[in-house]
Amino acid sequence: MATSRILRYVESRKNLTGSVFGLVGLGLTVAGLAGSLWPVVVGGLYAAGALIAPPERPDTPEFARPSEQLEELRQDFAKLRDYLTEVSLPAPAAGRLTDLNELITSLLDPGWVADALITDPEAVHSLSRAIRQDIPESVDAYVRTRWWSRLQPSAEPPEHHLERQLTVLHDEAHALAAGIHEAEARRQESHTHYLEERRQAP
């Protein structure tokens, strides 16, 4: 720890600037201008250089590019689908989950839809939350509650909650897809207006 701090200081702007000023002091000493006070002159110039040096600027953190984020999301979705194949679900919930998986697959498949998705950070976040949190949590909660309901039957069967949750998630994913389609439609319309205005220009 101490060694790394020393190395960081040696390479710092303060030390480098102070060293340059200190060399100037040594030059004055060699020229006979510092006299017997040369250690004070050299030390003072070093300190002055270290004080006026600009502060260290930490490196900007590097984050995954949007395309990399989408690829990681595809990998996590593949893991989720593997997990879901091991879970036994009632037919209505299984059907709703199949529809949801197909919709997410169509959004993540490489192509123009995924390219449009990349440009919308909120959409990527929403899809990421569904894959990494909402869907697995809904299914896991159903599995755990179903086990308890066998011992202590509840008023509302756990599969009803699962169906309602998957319906909400499907609606959210459908709205996300509709938003991408709407953005592309606006883009097409804008290009039409541009071409028509260009034709009418003198």
Q: Give residue 150's identity as a one-letter amino acid code.
A: R
pTM for this predicted structure: 0.64
pLDDT tens readout for residues 3-22? 666 666 656 777 677 777 77
Which has the closest alpha carbon to 107: 82, 127, 84? 127
Pick the residue with more confidence: 96 or 149?
96
Q: Cβ distance 69 to 108 under 8 Å?
A: no
Lowest mean pLDDT among 35-39, 73-77, 78-82, 192-196: 35-39
Give CA–CA dist 157/201, Å, rounded.
Answer: 67
Q: What pLDDT does residue 22 have?
A: 72
The pLDDT value recorded for residue 197 is 87
DSSP 120: -
pLDDT in tens, 53-94: 666 666 666 666 767 888 999 999 999 999 999 999 999 999
What average pLDDT does range 149-166 have in this prediction? 81
> Average of pLDDT values for 181-187?
86
Whole-number Å distance between alpha carbons of 146 and 161: 11
The angle subtended at Cα 184 by Cα 132 and Cα 200, nearest 5°, is 160
- The mean per-residue pLDDT over the stretch 108-135 comes to 89
Question: Nearest 5 degrees, angle CA 99-CA 101-CA 104?
Answer: 110
Instruction: Over range 169-197, report the average pLDDT.
Output: 90
- With 70 as the cut, is the pLDDT of residue 157 above it? yes
Q: From CA 162, how far away is CA 9, in angstroms rounded?
A: 58
Q: Are 104 and 135 in contact (CB under 8 A)?
A: no
Task: Band the pLDDT of 51: cuts 50, 70, 90.
Answer: confident
Provide the 10 A C-beta neighbour count for residue 22. 21
Beta-carbon-side half-sphere exposure of residue 74 (alpha carbons within 13 Å): 15
CA–CA separation, 21 vs 24, rounded Å?
5
Average pLDDT on 97-110 reads: 93
What per-residue confidence (pLDDT) applies to 161?
A: 92
Q: How many CB atoms lie within 10 A of CB 33?
A: 11
Those residues whose C-beta lies under 8 Å from the C-beta of residue 96, and which sit 6 or more positions away, are 163, 166, 167, 170
Cα end-to-end distance, the chain, whole Å: 71
pLDDT at 159 over 70: yes
> pLDDT above 90 covers what percent of the chain?
35
Using 50, 70 and 90 to split pLDDT, how confident is the model at 170? very high
